[in-house]
Chain A
Amino acid sequence: MSRSEAPAEIESKPGATKPDPILKVSGLVRQFGGLKAVDVEHLEIERNKITALIGPNGAGKTTFFNLITGFDQPNAGEWTYNGHPMKALGPHQMAKQGMVRTFQLTKSLSKLTVIENMKLGAANQVGESLGKALLPFTWKKQEAEIERRADALLDRFNMSHMRSEFAASLSGGQRKLLEMARALMAEPEIVMLDEPMAGVNPALTQELLGHVKELREEGRTIVFVEHDMDVVRDISDWVVVMAQGQIIAEGTHAEIGANQEVIDAYLGRHHDEEMSSDKAQESGTESFSQSEPDENSGLEKESNDE
Chain B
Amino acid sequence: MDILDIIGSALKAGLRPETAYISLAAIGLNIHFGYTGLLNFGQAGFMAVGAYGLAIPVFAFEASLWVGLACGITASVIFALLLGYPTLRLRADYLAIVTIAAAEIFRFIVRATGLREITGGSNGINGFSSGFYEANPYTSSVGFELGFLDFNYTAREAWVMTVGWGIVLTGIAFTYFAINSPWGRVLKSVREDEDAVRSLGKNAYSFKMQSLVIGGVFGAIGGMILALAQGSVQPSPVDLGPTRTFLAYAALIIGGTGKLWGPVAGSFIFISLLSFTDTFIRSAQAEGWIDESFIAPNEVGIARFVILGIALMLLMTFRPQGIFGSKREMALDV
Residues of A within 8 A of B (CB): 69-71, 90-93, 95-96, 100-103, 107-112, 116, 119-121, 123, 125-130, 132-134, 136, 139, 143, 166, 168-169, 182-183, 185-186
Contacts and interface: CB of A to CB of B under 8 A. Distances in A.
A123 B201 contact: yes
Contact of A90 (B178, B181, B198, B210): B198
Contacts of A90: 198, 203
Given A92-B198, A100-B201, A110-B192, 7 more contacts: A95-B200, A100-B200, A109-B193, A112-B185, A119-B182, A120-B189, A133-B178
A143 B182 contact: yes
Given A103-B195, A112-B188, A169-B332, A183 B182 contact: no
B168 interface: no
B298 interface: no
B332 A128 contact: no
Contacts of A168: 332
Interface in B206-247: 210, 214
A102 B193 CA distance: 13
Contacts of A125: 182
Given A71-B198, A133-B178, A168-B332, A120 B193 contact: no
Nearest to A179: B196
B260 to A, nearest CB: 15
Contacts of A185: 200
A101 B201 CA distance: 10
B189 A134 contact: no
Interface class of chain B by DSSP? helix
Contact of B332 (A101, A103, A133, A166): A166
A134 B171 CA distance: 12
A107 B199 CA distance: 10
B329 interface: yes
B109 to A, nearest CB: 31
B188 A111 contact: yes
B61 interface: no
Given A110-B332, A130-B210, A136-B177, A116 B201 contact: no
Contacts of A108: 193, 196
Nearest to B192: A109
5 contacts: A92-B199, A109-B193, A111-B188, A127-B183, A183-B200
A186 B192 CA distance: 19
B103 interface: no
A96 B197 CA distance: 12
B129 to A, nearest CB: 31
B252 interface: no
B97 to A, nearest CB: 25
A103 B332 CA distance: 20
Nearest to A126: B182
Nearest to B213: A130
B29 interface: no
B199 A91 contact: yes
B186 interface: yes
